[in-house]
Amino acid sequence: MYPEHDFEQLTKEPPTANCKDPEQVLHDVFGYETFRPLQGDIVREVVNGGDALVLMPTGGGKSLCYQVPALVRPGTAIVISPLIALMQDQVNALRELGVRAAFLNSSMDFEQARATEYALMTGELDLLYCAPERLIQPRTIELLHNASLSLFAIDEAHCVSQWGHDFRSDYLQLSMLAEAFPGIPRIALTATADERTRKEIAERLSLTQARHFISGFDRPNIQYRITPKTNANKQLLDFIKAEHAGDCGIVYCLSRNKVDATAKLLASKGYTALPYHAGLTSEQRSRNQDRFLREDGVIVVATIAFGMGIDKPDVRFVAHMDLPKSLEAYYQETGRAGRDGKPSTAWMVYGLQDVIKLRQMLEASQGNDQFKRVERQKLDAMLGLCEVTQCRRQVLLRYFGDTLEQPCGNCDSCLNPPETWDGSVAVQKALSCVFRTGQRYGVNYLIDVLRGSENERIVQAGHQAISTYGIGTELSANEWKSVFRQLVANGYLRADPDGYGAMQLTEQCRPLLKGDQRIELRKDPVVKASTGSKSSGKRSGQNLRDQITDHEGWEALRACRKALADKQGVPPYVIFHDTTLFDMLERRPTTLEELGEVSGVGAAKLEKYGDIFLETLRGIGQA
C-alpha cells in the first residue's frame, strides 16, 4: 500500500508568496502544455483572491482549477469532497505528481488524523481533502483558524441543492465558510446544474458575488445512441461485443435484481462484470469499485448509486438498460464515459414499459403538486430526447442552455437518420380504441383488439363488436407498440397510476382523435437477427484501440504501467493516463528531455518513471 502519512518523502519546498506562475506550475507539475479554455481564467481569478462558481462538464478539467491555485498561493488549500472512498485515490494521484496532499475523514484512526493535522499546522501541506461532515465540526474549524489557508474548493457543489438527486445536508452548512474565513477565496465546482440549481448553489454557499464560469456543455467525444428495446439483454451483448470488447464500462439498471442478473449474464459471456448497488455490503461495494478502478477492462453493472466522483478517465462506454428520470441524470451518468477525451459511447435501450413505469412511479410518488410538476417536466424532456428525430446532441445541449449550430455528426440520429411516417390515421385508430374499450386496458390488450385477435378476454368482454376491432391489421404488434410508446412519451396517453397501466386519454389528444391534427411518428429501425454491425462501418476508427497501430508497443507500455501501479497499490491511470501512453507511442521519445514533452509527464513522474519507460520504448523499437 502507498505510505499514507509519510510526509518526509515529499521534498518539495513550501510555496512562497505569489512567486509562481500558473503556466509554469501546469507544465512542471502536471506536464501539460496549455490551460484549456476557461481553466486559465478561473485559475487567475482564484490566484488573485476572487471567488468562483465553476460549471464544467465531466472531464472538462475542474480539478486543475483549484489544484494549480493551491500550488501558486501560499498556504494550504482545503478541498471539500463528498466521497470518502475516492479521496485516497485523489491524494495518491497528487502525491505521484510530487504534490503534498493529504485527507481528513472518518476512515482514519486517531493517530493518522493527528499526523495530518500536525502537517497542516506546520505548513507542510499544499492540499487537504476533507469530508463535509468533518469540516463543519467545531474542532476542525478551530484547527483551520490556526492554519495558513490558500483557498477553499467545494467539489460536487450541486450536493447543496435539494432538487438534485445528490443532496447532502452537510453541504448546507458550508455557507458559514464565507463568514468564518473572510478573505480566503472559495471556488465551487459542479458538472451538473441547470440555471435554477446554479442560482441555488450561489445562494446557499454565499457565492452570489462570485464570478461564474460556465463552460460549454458539449462532450464531442461521446457518441449518443438510443435504441428501442426489443431484447435488451441480447442488444447489450451485441453492442459490447461489436464495439467495446475488452473495454472498461458502466451498465446502469434501475433495480438491484436487474443489476445482479445483468452482471451474471455478462460474466457468463466471459466479461469481468461486477455488480454495485445498495444491497451489497460496503466491503463488497468498495472491493468492486476498487477493481473497476485498478484493473483493465472491468464492467461495473450498477444502480445509480455508483459513479459520483468516479474520475476514471478511460471509461469507454456507459450503457443504460433503463431510462433515467431526467436529462440531468442521463447527462451526468453518460458523462462518466470518456473523460480522457477519447471516443466513447453512451448507449441506451428504452421501450414502452420504461415509459409507463416511470410515469406511474412519478404519479404515485409522495411529493406535493409543485414537486410533481417539476418531475413531470423533467421526464418529458428525457422522453423527448428518446423520441426526437433530429440530432440528439442539439436537443441535449439546448436543454442545458447551450447551442450547437450544426447537427453533430456523432449521434445515432446523425449517423443513421431515422425515417418518419405520417401516423395520423394509425394514431386516430389507437386513441379511438382506447376510448371504445373504456380506458381500462393495457397496451397489449389494445393491440390485440386493433389487430383483431380472437383471444378469450376479448371475446368475453364483447370487444369483437366494437368499431375499432380488427381495424389495425396493417401494422405489426411491434409497430403498434412503437405508436403507443410515442403517444405516451408525448403525453397524448397516460398510464393509469393506480392500476396495471391501463391507457387513458389526456386533454391533449382531442385534436388527434378528431382528425384535426396531423402527427409524424418515428419509424423504429428494423432490428435484424444480429445488430450492432449495421452502422459500425461508419464508427470504426472511432475507437481508441482502432487508432493504435503498434499493438505490441501499446501492450508493452501498459504492462510497464501495470507493474508500477501494482507495486504501489494505485490504479494504473494514477501512473499515466492512456492518453499519455498513446502520446508516447506516437512520439517515441528517446531521451528524458523528449519524454518530458509528452502530454501528462510532469517533472516528478519524469524523474520517477522516465528511465523505465524509455527502456520499454527502446525494447519496442527493437522488436
Closest residue to ligand ADP, based on beta-carbon distance? 61
Report angle CA 41, 42, 48 to the nearest 5 degrees.
Answer: 90
Taking alpha carbons only, the member of 316, 350, 318, 322 closest to residue 334 is 318
C-alpha dihedral (7, 8, 9, 11), degrees to nearest 10: 100
Cα R_g (the chain), whole angstroms: 27
CA 32 to chain centre: 24
C-alpha cell at 160: 447543496
Footprint of ligand ADP on 569-598 (CB under 6 A): 577
Min separation Cβ 388 and Zn ion, Å: 10
User: Does residue 58 belong to the site contacting ligand ADP (CB under 6 A)?
Assistant: yes
Contact predicate 69/26, CB 8 Å: no
Site mask for ligand ADP (CB under 6 A), range 4-33, x = bound? ----------------------------x-
Residue 450 binds which of Zn ion, ligand ADP, none (CB < 5-8 A, kind-dependent): none
Checking DSSP bridges between strand 52-55 and strand 186-190, what pairing results, if any?
Answer: parallel
Report angle CA 300, 301, 304 to the nearest 5 degrees.
Answer: 105
User: Does residue 39 belong to the site contacting ligand ADP (CB under 6 A)?
Assistant: yes
User: Does residue 408 belong to the site contacting Zn ion (CB under 5 A)?
Assistant: yes
| Per-position b or e across 322-332, b if 16+ CB within 10 A of its CB | bbbbbbbbbbb
C-alpha dihedral (308, 309, 310, 313), degrees to nearest 10: 130
Phi then psi for residue 332, to 5 deg, are -70, -45
Footprint of ligand ADP on 495-554 (CB under 6 A): none
Span between the terminal Cα atoms of the chain, in Å = 34
Checking DSSP bridges between strand 493-495 and strand 503-505, what pairing results, if any?
Answer: antiparallel
| Reduced 3-state DSSP string for 486-551 | HHHHCCCEEECCCCCCCEEECHHHHHHHHCCCCCEEECCCCCCCCCCCCCHHHHCCCCHHHHCCCH
Task: Measure the CA–CA gap between 224 and 394, rounded to whole angstroms.
Answer: 11
| Residue of 2, 49, 63, 478 that binds ligand ADP (CB under 6 A) | 63
| Residue of 414, 426, 450, 471 that binds Zn ion (CB under 5 A) | 414
User: Does residue 62 belong to the site contacting Zn ion (CB under 5 A)?
Assistant: no
User: Does residue 466 belong to the site contacting Zn ion (CB under 5 A)?
Assistant: no
Residue 56 binds which of ligand ADP, Zn ion, none (CB < 5-8 A, kind-dependent): ligand ADP
CA 327 to chain centre: 11
Residue 411 binds which of ligand ADP, Zn ion, none (CB < 5-8 A, kind-dependent): Zn ion
Min separation Cβ 317 and Zn ion, Å: 18
User: Does residue 35 belong to the site contacting ligand ADP (CB under 6 A)?
Assistant: yes
C-alpha cell at 42: 478561473
User: Does residue 69 belong to the site contacting ligand ADP (CB under 6 A)?
Assistant: no
User: Does residue 38 belong to the site contacting Zn ion (CB under 5 A)?
Assistant: no
Taking alpha carbons only, the member of 93, 127, 109, 92 closest to residue 6 is 92
251 beta partners: 301, 319
63/478 with CB nearer ligand ADP:
63
Residue 36 binds which of ligand ADP, Zn ion, none (CB < 5-8 A, kind-dependent): ligand ADP
Residue 313 binds which of ligand ADP, Zn ion, none (CB < 5-8 A, kind-dependent): ligand ADP
159/411 with CB nearer Zn ion:
411
User: Does residue 82 belong to the site contacting ligand ADP (CB under 6 A)?
Assistant: no
Residue 340 binds which of Zn ion, ligand ADP, none (CB < 5-8 A, kind-dependent): ligand ADP
Contact predicate 425/238, CB 8 Å: no
| Residue of 153, 250, 411, 443 that binds Zn ion (CB under 5 A) | 411
Footprint of Zn ion on 344-403 (CB under 5 A): 391, 393
Stretch that binds ligand ADP, among 61-69, 145-153, 358-366, 479-487 (CB under 6 A): 61-69
| Residue of 20, 339, 342, 494 that binds ligand ADP (CB under 6 A) | 339
56/240 with CB nearer ligand ADP:
56
Size of the site for ligand ADP (CB under 6 A): 17
Size of the site for Zn ion (CB under 5 A): 6
| Residue of 56, 125, 160, 248 that binds ligand ADP (CB under 6 A) | 56
How distant, in Å, are the alpha carbons of 14, 498, 575 from that of 152?
A: 18, 49, 27
79/433 with CB nearer ligand ADP:
79
| Residue of 12, 27, 36, 372 that binds ligand ADP (CB under 6 A) | 36
Min separation Cβ 522 and Zn ion, Å: 15
C-alpha cell at 86: 475516492
Residue 58 binds which of Zn ion, ligand ADP, none (CB < 5-8 A, kind-dependent): ligand ADP
Stretch that binds ligand ADP, among 9-17, 35-43, 174-182, 389-397 (CB under 6 A): 35-43
C-alpha cell at 583: 502520446
User: Does residue 478 belong to the site contacting ligand ADP (CB under 6 A)?
Assistant: no
User: Does residue 342 belong to the site contacting ligand ADP (CB under 6 A)?
Assistant: no
Residue 393 binds which of Zn ion, ligand ADP, none (CB < 5-8 A, kind-dependent): Zn ion
Contact predicate 449/469, CB 8 Å: yes
Contact predicate 314/342, CB 8 Å: yes
Please give the residue ranges that form the binding site for ligand ADP (CB under 6 A).
Answer: 32, 35-36, 39, 56, 58-64, 311, 313, 339-340, 577
Please give the residue ranges that form the binding site for Zn ion (CB under 5 A).
Answer: 391, 393, 407-408, 411, 414
